[in-house]
């Protein structure tokens, strides 16, 4: 079977990259998602265990694909699409960094890496041209949000990878690692663009009114102020990595909001709300757990009966439902508690309109990104 990398060149030229996601037109969204899950599984299976990068990555990517499949079978379409996005992104990153051996990369030098990056830029540009013409108002807001987040991630990852290739290392092994890091992040960015394209190819029969979208700058600034106030020892030391990830989430939210990609901005805002609450979350008591299940059931019924598109809130309900399925762990209960008591109330608060604020416009957030294996 041909690999994704071998198929890309012809498909991009024909404007058919989204065909990777489905083999037939007219399929509903769930069927197309299932087709892509199975496709990536076959591609992953074909990768050699003799390559240490693939051997190490297969387990995590396979787990994400399994989660996507499980979610789809449980009727959690939006969660399935979210899990598919993570698997697709990781697969694209590893595929890009392993297309050439370390010796081939060193031999080709920086010019060779730049040549590969330029090919990816052209592919991403072709995708951006197509998706930029898409009428996203016809899509569930959850799908639009995931597509916009992927759009917001694609270019920074693609262009940011180039910085690794320029690091002034002289040892051959270090140079090789820098080049593979550049291609890793660039491949991740290209995969995000591909996922955006895939979302645009999905067919939904939405029967509810669209969710009103607007700027969320006030909400983002309020949350950023809360995060800044909380970043004090010992909490800042204990949750250092958590704060880094949280600020990264807020940074992307602000960028999406500035670009008027408001569905993606709301999605990132709600994710940041969940991440912030998780820093000091307390395990719910047995009595509290019973109330959480009841509240989740009531929330699900409320969303199902709504006359407007509540798909983004439904995504978080699907996260909570999945956490509480089977035999939930302590972390699962914490996840459900945060979604019910923090995330969903934050979502409904945004529907009441932009809150009054005397805050400055959201300031930029400086985040230092350090590559740890396959982050």
Q: What angle do CA 333, 335, 338 make, to 5 degrees?
A: 110
99, 129 contact by CB (below 8 A): no
What confidence score (pLDDT) does residue 166 get? 81
Q: Which of 45, 68, 72 is nearest to 58 (CA)?
A: 45
What confidence score (pLDDT) does residue 52 get? 94
What confidence score (pLDDT) does residue 170 get? 60
Q: What angle do CA 7, 151, 44 make, to 5 degrees?
A: 40
What confidence score (pLDDT) does residue 114 get? 94
What confidence score (pLDDT) does residue 290 get? 96
Please give the backbone phi and psi of residue 351, each rounded to the nearest 5 degrees, phi first: -75, -15
189, 120 contact by CB (below 8 A): yes
What confidence score (pLDDT) does residue 212 get? 92
Q: How far apart are CA 317 and CA 333, in angstroms?
A: 13
Q: How far apart are CA 54 and CA 33, in angstroms?
A: 23
What confidence score (pLDDT) does residue 375 get? 39
What confidence score (pLDDT) does residue 120 get? 96
DSSP secondary structure code for residue 354 in this structure: P
What confidence score (pLDDT) does residue 337 get? 98
Tens of each residue's pLDDT in the chain, 375 residues:
334 444 454 344 333 344 444 334 447 999 999 999 999 999 999 999 999 999 999 999 999 999 999 999 999 999 999 999 999 999 999 999 999 999 999 999 999 999 999 999 999 999 999 999 999 998 999 999 999 999 999 999 999 988 888 877 666 668 889 999 999 999 999 999 999 999 999 998 777 899 999 999 999 999 999 999 999 999 999 999 999 999 999 999 999 999 999 999 999 999 999 999 999 999 999 999 999 999 999 999 999 999 999 999 999 999 999 999 999 999 999 999 999 999 999 999 999 975 544 444 444 434 344 443 333
The overall pTM is greater than 0.85: yes
Q: Where are the domains of the chain?
A: 4-201, 217-351
Q: Which of 92, 292, 270 is nearest to 192 (CA)?
A: 92
What confidence score (pLDDT) does residue 12 get? 42
């Amino acid at each position: 079977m041909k690999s994704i990398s071998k198929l890309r060149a012809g498909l991009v030229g024909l404007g058919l990259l989204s065909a990777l996601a489905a083999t037939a037109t007219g399929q509903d969204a769930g069927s197309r998602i299932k087709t892509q899950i199975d496709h990536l599984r076959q591609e992953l299976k074909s990768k050699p265990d003799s390559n240490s990068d693939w051997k190490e990555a297969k387990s995590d990517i396979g787990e994400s694909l399994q989660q996507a499949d499980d979610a789809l079978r449980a009727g959690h379409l939006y969660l399935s699409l979210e899990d598919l996005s993570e698997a697709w992104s990781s697969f694209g990153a590893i595929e890009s960094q392993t297309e050439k051996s370390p010796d081939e990369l060193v031999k080709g030098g920086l010019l060779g890496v730049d040549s590969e990056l330029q090919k990816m830029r052209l592919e991403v540009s072709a995708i951006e041209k197509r998706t930029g013409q898409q009428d996203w108002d016809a899509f569930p807001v959850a799908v639009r949000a995931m597509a916009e987040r992927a759009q917001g991630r694609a270019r920074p990852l693609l262009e940011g990878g180039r910085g690794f290739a320029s690091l002034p290392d002289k040892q051959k092994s270090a140079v090789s690692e820098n080049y593979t890091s550049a291609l890793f992040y660039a491949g991740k960015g290209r995969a995000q663009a591909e996922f955006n394209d895939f979302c645009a190819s999905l067919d939904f029969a939405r029967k509810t009114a669209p969710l009103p979208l607007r700027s969320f700058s006030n909400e983002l600034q309020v949350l950023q102020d809360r995060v800044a106030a909380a970043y004090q020892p010992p909490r800042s030391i204990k949750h250092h990595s958590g704060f880094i990830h949280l600020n990264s989430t807020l940074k992307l939210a602000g960028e999406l909001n500035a670009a008027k990609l408001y569905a993606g901005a709301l999605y990132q805002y709600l994710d940041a709300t969940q991440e912030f609450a998780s820093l000091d979350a307390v395990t719910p008591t047995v009595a509290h757990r019973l109330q959480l299940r009841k509240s989740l059931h009531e929330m699900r019924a409320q969303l199902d009966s709504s006359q407007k598109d509540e798909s983004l809130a439904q995504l978080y309900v699907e996260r909570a439902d999945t956490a509480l399925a089977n035999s939930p762990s302590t972390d699962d209960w914490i996840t459900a508690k945060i979604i019910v008591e923090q995330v969903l109330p934050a979502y409904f608060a945004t529907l009441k309109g932009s809150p009054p604020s005397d805050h400055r416009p959201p300031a930029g957030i400086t985040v230092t990104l350090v590559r740890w294996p396959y982050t």
